[in-house]
Amino acid sequence: MANPVGVSLLGAGNIGSAVVSALARGADRYAARVGRPLELRRVLVRDTQRARAGIEPSQVTGDIDDVLRDEGTHVVVEVMGGEEPARAYMEAALRSGRHVVTANKEVIAKHGAALLQVANDHGVRLLFEASVGGGIPVIAPLSRDLLANEVTAVTAIINGTTNYMLTAMTQRGADYAEVLAEAQRLGYAEPDPTADVEGIDAAYKIAVLCGLAFNVDVAPADVARQGISTVTARDIAYALQLGHVIKLLARARFADGEVEATVRPTLIGVQEPLAKVDGVLNAVQVEGDLVGRVLFEGPGAGQGPTTSSILADVLDVAQDVAGSRTPLPFIPRRQVRVRPPEEHSSRAYLRIGVRDEPGVLARIAAALGDAGVSIASVIQFDPEVTGGEEGTAELVLTTHRAPGAALARALEQIRQMDAVTEIGNVLPMEG
């Protein structure tokens, strides 16, 4: 029998244990695809005394050096999560001449460019399909299948928790607090949901996709971010009246040598493909000069989908170890300017609370016009609809495309008006 390709794991939680189980179940199939069998070598864990299914006690260690000193380990799979020590362990593994496969979106978003350079310097590979979109094969297509294209835009729904919540709000008219509690009961949302509902998780993922789609290095902190916690049942209802649904969209565009990246609740026309991606599903839409627009859709998280992506990467790199495939050449990341939000241009949805008195709309329209923002439509909702006090109203305005700076100037002027009780929400619109 040919010498096996040795695989060691960093972490043996839900995902790690699923990887171990899948390696055992698919042993014959994987050996046939790679040309050599895959062998589980070492498993790094915090609690070395705990018994784990499919893992021999002799394979368990609490010391990263046991993994790095193991001459039979060719591939290290990191499924620990968190930034440190996962980043340090991955770098050490790469420097030791091991290929690394990871699902860690935070590490790849923050340190991916540096780790890819380390991998190239040491003649090994860093693969991270599972870091974005769970079971959706999007990183490999961007790296290989769409390589002939100049990719100009990526638009994605890449957080299952928020997509589940916004879908429930749309389909049932439920409030944010109600659907958040429901998502937590079902295990879709963490006890502390901040990373999901404030768009942090999605910002990590779109930063990763910028590297793959445009070959540029975008820090998560440079992604303009707005979460869904401000979205109300009324926003959802008003959007539907306008022929739109609200989704948390992660978007990136590359033009004129600059990149812009955002994560924001966005109004999308109900007939658009992304508008129909519901529940915990994820989707990534890529636009290229040759292929046009393509959409990848599927489960975005969970044991099965994540394990599928991890093992796809393991099999990919195992073929390198076995000498049965030639990897693509390394291309260093480009350093480009990331446009700040005030330079982004889009249509906008505005929900503004006002006192119902003559001339209010005219003053708001004047403020928008003075800033160079053109109104596309206006609808007024009275207290019978809004549940507000008598003598108040809610204006829902949509605008034509305008720069972020112009809209911000207009909103600052509107906010100072005596007749304006609140600026309830400001969301971008597709189109």
Catalytic residue positions? 205
Write b or e for each residue in 347-357: b if 16 or more Cβ atoms lie within 10 A of its Cβ, otherwise e: bbbbbbbbebe
Q: In this structure, which amino acid lies at residue 121? A: D
Q: How many CB atoms lie within 10 A of CB 97?
A: 12
Instruction: State the DSSP string of 214-275.
Output: H-B---GGGSEE--STT--HHHHHHHHHTTEEEEEEEEEEEETTEEEEEEEEEEEETTSGGG
Max Cα–Cα distance, the chain, nearest Å: 87
Contact 430, 267 (CB under 8 A): yes
Q: How far is Cα 172 from Cα 167, in angstroms, rounded to an integer? A: 8
Q: How far is Cα 234 from Cα 36, in angstroms, rounded to an integer? A: 58
Instruction: State the DSSP string of 280-301.
Output: TEEEEEEEETTTEEEEEEEE-S
Contact 272, 295 (CB under 8 A): no
> Locate tokens 């929400």: which residue?
425
